[in-house]
Amino acid sequence: MVRPVPESELPDPHEILHRLREARTRLTVRLRFKDGREEHGAITYVERLGRGRLIDVEREFAMDFHLHDLADVEY
C-alpha cells in the first residue's frame, strides 16, 4: 500500500532542487513522490521549467515529473 508523505516530513523545495542538480549526473536515482510512489532510473531536469523526466531503460518505462511533486531525491 502506498502512503502519502505527511507535510511535516517534506524537505524544503530548495533542498530538493539542489539534490536534482546533483542527481542529473548520476546513472540512477530514486525519486519519492508526495503521494507515496517511488520510481528509480536516470533523470533529465530543466530547472527553468521545474520539470524533468525519469527514464528506466530496464523496465522500458519513462515518466515526466514536476519539482513540486517530489518528496525526496536519493542517489
Q: Please state the domain extents for the chain.
A: 7-74
Model pTM? Answer: 0.81
Task: Tell the CATH topology of 7-74.
Answer: SH3 type barrels. (2.30.30)
Q: Which residue has the cell 513540486?
A: 68
In 3D space, the residue among 34, 35, 15 whose CA is nearest the CA of residue 23 turns out to be 15
Specify the pLDDT at position 6: 72
Distance (Å, rounded) from C-alpha 9 to C-alpha 55? 26
Per residue in 28-63, pLDDT (tens digit) is 999 999 998 999 999 999 999 999 999 999 999 999
Taking residue 41's Cβ as centre, other Cβ atoms within 10 Å add up to 19
Q: Is 55 within 8 Å of 62 (Cβ atoms)? A: yes
Taking residue 8's Cβ as centre, other Cβ atoms within 10 Å add up to 5
Per residue in 7-18, pLDDT (tens digit) is 766 778 889 999
Q: Which residue has the cell 523526466?
A: 53
Per residue in 60-72, pLDDT (tens digit) is 999 999 999 999 9
Specify the pLDDT at position 12: 81
